[in-house]
Structure 1
């Protein structure tokens, strides 16, 4: 039985199903279309000027400030902890929406929602660290479809409940809270990736051209503490050239990661089609 569970957890199907469930429940928020009338209605008693000028801009600036550090943290922590952070931020967001009052409390809501949108990169990057490259296209379609279906279901369900069942905005937010809580629960069952794009590369020996392309030692993907432990075993014999290189590696690790990141960005955006697509995506999102 244990071997069967282990085989299932290491296949591409298990993480794909769990990450799709996580994306579905995290996006299935029927109250999101009614945020402004909820804040300006009897539940929160805020003015439209407070909502548009003091509350909603906090999300924009929080998202902008958090995006790059969260991106690096996502890769360093190997995705799953950031997905858990996203789940916690979603729960805090909707708990505050339900029970907190005042402009300051709603600004805190927007900050946590900025954290939610900044950590979305973990959702779209996680699956590529646990499946083989020949399944990238399939799992990408599944992950993207789950969020699009969830957004459609949430919008239709919210409109039907408000228009036909006369459900209050408060209960729509309660439904959203239940959905994001399920997304947080799904994130717990995701297997922890063993590699990432930059900080935990499995192909580190092939990632850098020129002089950096050397044969990596067997323990090159282990934490620096592990490397120090192994080097201490042969302290009496003096460090070998390989051990000296291994000791220097942690000090230069962050620099190599930044160099690799800059090279990947240069390679990606040297494609004119990708550059045009990114510009249109940014304009559509901003609009």
Structure 2
């Protein structure tokens, strides 16, 4: 009993602390804001055109190829192995940047980094499989704070080293290699989850199917924590309990297929959820494209060879402003089912203006300001979108929705890259690319302004349709108690 009580406290504080530490070191990548100047500088000596039209598209195509298989593999292997893999590939990433010369090595770098980004889903999925549901909100806050702190400190520190101490880009990459190596070592301290969201063992799946309303951490979570069970279980029993034959049996695969299909139907069961998911995919595709190529725009406006650059400081400011924008969502009292789609359209319009501003200005400081505004708008809206979707779905459905929306976003980004960026097709210069990105965001804004206006007017004319799921439940409970 004492062991169980200690393990319950351990079961959420220890994995949350270790994963937060991992998130801090993994995102403390001070060299990332200076990647483009490093590639086109004397160390790699790659032309701006090759970086823009040939090298960066490799990451997009590789990311698309890896994303969905790794999404399923993450759940099948129960998260920790994929976090360890991410840490390993982060180390490999900066070993290549520091010591591997030539264009072929940088092509391998893009494929390597695609593995890093495609395994990011394991970071948040891990903690939901480890801790009781009552700690979800606190743990998520700690994890996001750790990521933000790591990225802000890394970018800010690298900017100070470059601007104040004149440190070379190579040493910034070497320092980053040290921080991601700490992340890799930290990943081994994570305890191994005893369950997954979709690939459940036969006994757990049978119990879970009887009590779906209790969520992913319902009855299939063992009543006694795994750390106490392991002391009493023999090696043979553990092999029988989690053997590959049980995981890969036809019945288990069929059950996974049914659960995925049920989760898919629930995830996109209403127009409300479909429109929020549509904005998520459309806007994220544009955001990733701008995030990937913004350094080339900054380099076009002001060459690092002739003047000081402040990429790291700008990224640090963006992280803080984005965090404030995201944090503010929890304190805004708005009927999002009425005004949400209109808000998506309005703030997307602001982001559109910021993108056009970045494309048309010749001032690096105006371009920096436009990027801060654009990123703040995206962070604000993606927080609202994620909350709206998650509040109406179970954890299994939310995980699947996250994966599908991200996959669609990446598919759209790949199409944009293939047509606009890739040298095999149009191969446009960076300014023209940003004009295309601005037009893309203008189309998103127009779509949701029209849709949001229609939704707001329709629900104002029929206020009874604005009753939320929670309000309906409260009415049912009150009615039951009254009779």
Equivalent in the alignment of 1:270: 269
Alpha-carbon distance change, 250 to 52 in structure 1, aligned in 2, over 3 angstroms? same
Q: Distance in 2 between matches of 1:150 and 1:49?
A: 31
Equivalent in the alignment of 2:181: 181
Q: Distance in 1 between matches of 2:177 and 2:82?
A: 19
Q: Distance in 1 between matches of 2:128 and 2:155?
A: 29
Alpha-carbon distance change, 21 to 271 in structure 1, aligned in 2, over 3 angstroms? farther
Q: Distance in 1 between matches of 2:17 and 2:253?
A: 34
The 8 Å contact of residues 84 and 184 in structure 1, kept in 2 or not, is answered as: yes
Alpha-carbon distance change, 142 to 170 in structure 1, aligned in 2, over 3 angstroms? same
The 8 Å contact of residues 50 and 103 in structure 1, kept in 2 or not, is answered as: no
Match of 2:35, SS state, is: helix
Q: Distance in 2 between matches of 1:151 and 1:33?
A: 10
Task: State yes or no: 1:99 paired with 2:118.
Answer: no
* Bigger relative CO (Cα 8 Å, ≥ 6 apart): 1
The 8 Å contact of residues 9 and 191 in structure 1, kept in 2 or not, is answered as: no
Q: Distance in 2 between matches of 1:226 and 1:116?
A: 30
Equivalent in the alignment of 1:222: 241
1:222, distance to aligned residue in structure 2 (A): 2.8
Summarize the alignment of residues 185-204 of structure 1 with structure 2, pairs less than 5 Å apart.
Answer: 185-200=185-200, 203-204=204-205
Alpha-carbon distance change, 272 to 181 in structure 1, aligned in 2, over 3 angstroms? farther
Gaps of 5+ in 1: 210-215, 228-248
Q: State which drifts further: 81-90 or 262-271.
A: 262-271
> Normalising to structure 2: TM-score of the pair?
0.49
Q: May I ask how many residue pairs the two structures share in their alignment?
A: 255
Equivalent in the alignment of 1:230: none
| TM-superposition CA deviations, 1:194-227 (whole Å, max 9, x none) | 0010112675225547xxxxxx9x99x9335687
Q: Distance in 2 between matches of 1:269 and 1:181?
A: 40
Q: Distance in 2 between matches of 1:258 and 1:272?
A: 24
Q: Distance in 2 between matches of 1:137 and 1:203?
A: 25
Match of 2:241, SS state, is: coil
The 8 Å contact of residues 54 and 103 in structure 1, kept in 2 or not, is answered as: no
Task: State yes or no: 1:205 paired with 2:224.
Answer: no
The 8 Å contact of residues 224 and 250 in structure 1, kept in 2 or not, is answered as: no
Q: Distance in 1 between matches of 2:270 and 2:162?
A: 46
Alpha-carbon distance change, 42 to 196 in structure 1, aligned in 2, over 3 angstroms? same
Match of 1:11, SS state, is: helix
Summarize the alignment of residues 43-62 of structure 1 with structure 2, pairs less than 5 Å apart.
Answer: 43-62=43-62
Equivalent in the alignment of 2:293: none
> Normalising to structure 1: TM-score of the pair?
0.81
Q: Distance in 2 between matches of 1:180 and 1:165?
A: 23
Equivalent in the alignment of 1:108: 108
1:258, distance to aligned residue in structure 2 (A): 1.9
> Which segments of structure 1 move beyond 6 Å, counting only runs of 4 or more?
none
Q: Distance in 1 between matches of 2:208 and 2:10?
A: 25
Q: State which drifts further: 154-163 or 35-44.
A: 154-163
Alpha-carbon distance change, 277 to 186 in structure 1, aligned in 2, over 3 angstroms? farther
1:95, distance to aligned residue in structure 2 (A): 0.2
Match of 1:12, SS state, is: helix
Alpha-carbon distance change, 168 to 23 in structure 1, aligned in 2, over 3 angstroms? same
Q: State which drifts further: 118-127 or 7-16.
A: 7-16
1:11, distance to aligned residue in structure 2 (A): 2.7
Equivalent in the alignment of 2:39: 39
Task: State yes or no: 1:151 paired with 2:151.
Answer: yes
Gaps of 5+ in 2: 211-219, 223-236, 291-483
Match of 2:151, SS state, is: helix
Alignment RMSD: 2.6
Q: Distance in 1 between matches of 2:148 and 2:94?
A: 21
Equivalent in the alignment of 2:259: 260
Alpha-carbon distance change, 275 to 182 in structure 1, aligned in 2, over 3 angstroms? farther
Alpha-carbon distance change, 271 to 23 in structure 1, aligned in 2, over 3 angstroms? farther
